[in-house]
């Protein structure tokens, strides 16, 4: 039976390459159809590659390598026939590539590690099919041998070794107390950096601020949270209120729901709102579609679903495209105030911040209220100050009096 090629799958027309961030399997492992094989990082999304058949896998590309769409990164032998197991050998040092040895029946990756680290594969317990020693087994054995070597050397003076014993190559490791380390920037992080710089260089960005009393929203959540959870199976958060408030404000100030394309102004007549999500790979902005037609529960459910997939690396390119406005919430990390950067080509972004109790003057009296600062960054080439301030005031009014959201006023 012929070998099955494992290729980098297509991700969309705009993605032509990526970085094979890590393998979830080792060379020589037996894999199952549908099993996750590797993690691929591109400048837009992170996704997993899966096996399309059962069999024994042979890796062709090292983790961390840049790969192109369609490139072959591994092969799978559907017959599942592992290399013939070697007969029991006399314990001793690995003889090396020039000697006839049972170890030569092992995979190339296993033999390479054996040669470099001086570890005899016949003394390593295999976790592959039929007890086969895999690349991962050898890496673990080499690490253990190196650890034991350092432990012994710290307690005893080194002894002279017989001339016939091979000398393992030293493993490069960061020195204790090293002041700097370097690693390659991921494609996603590099793209984020590029887009943020472009947004600041190409747009006439300006930020306006306001503050909002969160008492009404917090009161609604406290009063109806138990019933909401019982009906929907998840909690009512703040983001659904702000998403509804943004949709209402975009309807009232349609100039904010537009973008510049060359010499033209493109006015949007739909309300797909992006919600910024922090992931281990970097910031992503999945888009919640048709927010004007969704209930509060529908918005909360959609946010939880796409945010979860973004953090798990399951997000697709389609999930990130087509938003008309973005909401970012630095308050969950304790941010008091910030100036969010535009998510091009959108013309505005709303920044939410931490809720803190502060003394406020209400009807001539000083009272303590839970307050949040709001920040609206916008492209002044398209949005005038009057429109920006009006938009932010509309959001403030809707949050401080949520009944406005029901009446859309």
Catalytic residues: 380, 384
What is the total residue count of the chain?
Answer: 409
CA–CA separation, 303 and 320 (whole Å): 13
Measured between alpha carbons, how far is 370 from 221 in angstroms, rounded to an integer?
14
Of 128, 31, 13, 56, whose CA–CA distance to 48 is shortest? 31
398/157 Cα distance (integer angstroms): 75
CA 328 remoteness from chain centre: 16
Q: How far is CA 61 from CA 50, 218, 268, 299, 315, in A?
A: 15, 53, 45, 42, 24
Q: Which long-range contacts (CB under 8 A, 24 or more apart) does 195-199 make?
A: 195/343, 195/344, 196/341, 198/344, 199/341, 199/342, 199/343, 199/344
For residue 335, give the DSSP letter: -
Sign, Cα dihedral of 129, 131, 58, 3: negative
The contacts of residue 154 (CB under 8 Å, 6+ apart) are none
Helix (H) or strand (E) run with residue 232 in it: helix 215-232
DSSP string, 185-225: PPHHHHHHHHHHHHHHHHS-EEEEEEEEE-HHHHHHHHHHH
Specify which residues 184 forms β-bridges with.
Answer: none
């Amino acid at each position: 039976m012929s070998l099955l090629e494992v290729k980098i799958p297509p991700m969309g027309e705009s993605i032509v390459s990526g970085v094979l961030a890590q393998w979830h399997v080792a060379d020589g492992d037996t894999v199952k159809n549908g099993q996750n094989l590797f993690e691929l990082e591109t400048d837009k999304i992170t996704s997993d590659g899966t096996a399309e058949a059962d069999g024994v896998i042979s890796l062709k590309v090292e983790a961390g390598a840049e790969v192109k769409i369609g490139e072959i990164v591994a092969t799978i032998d559907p017959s599942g026939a592992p290399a013939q197991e070697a007969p029991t050998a006399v314990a001793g040092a690995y003889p090396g590539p020039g000697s006839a040895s049972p170890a030569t029946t092992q995979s190339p990756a296993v033999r390479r590690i054996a040669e470099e680290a001086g570890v005899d594969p016949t003394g390593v317990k295999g976790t592959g099919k039929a007890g086969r020693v895999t690349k991962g087994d050898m890496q673990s054995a080499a690490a253990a041998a190196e650890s034991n070597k350092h432990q012994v050397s710290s307690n005893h003076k080194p002894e002279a070794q017989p001339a016939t014993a091979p000398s393992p190559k030293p493993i490069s490791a960061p020195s204790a107390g090293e002041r700097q380390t370097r690693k390659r920037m991921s494609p996603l992080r590099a793209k984020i950096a590029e887009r943020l710089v472009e947004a600041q260089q190409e747009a006439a960005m300006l930020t306006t601020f306001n503050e909002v009393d969160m008492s009404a929203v917090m009161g609604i959540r406290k009063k109806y949270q138990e019933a909401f959870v019982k009906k929907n199976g998840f909690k009512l958060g703040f983001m659904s209120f702000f998403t509804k408030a943004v949709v209402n404000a975009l309807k009232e100030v349609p100039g904010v729901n537009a973008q510049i394309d060359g010499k033209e102004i493109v006015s949007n007549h739909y309300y797909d709102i992006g919600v910024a999500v922090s992931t281990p790979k970097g910031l992503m902005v999945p888009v919640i579609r048709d927010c004007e037609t969704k209930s509060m529960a529908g918005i909360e459910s959609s946010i939880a679903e796409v945010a979860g997939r973004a953090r798990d690396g399951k997000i697709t390119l389609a999930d990130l495209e087509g938003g008309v406005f973005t909401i970012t919430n630095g308050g969950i990390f304790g941010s008091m105030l910030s100036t969010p950067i535009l998510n091009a080509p959108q013309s505005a972004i709303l920044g939410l911040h931490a809720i803190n109790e502060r003394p406020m003057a209400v009807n001539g009296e000083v009272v303590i209220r839970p307050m949040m600062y709001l920040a609206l960054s916008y492209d002044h080439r398209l949005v005038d100050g009057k429109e920006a301030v009006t938009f932010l005031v509309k959001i403030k009014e809707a949050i401080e009096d949520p009944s406005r959201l029901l009446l859309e006023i």
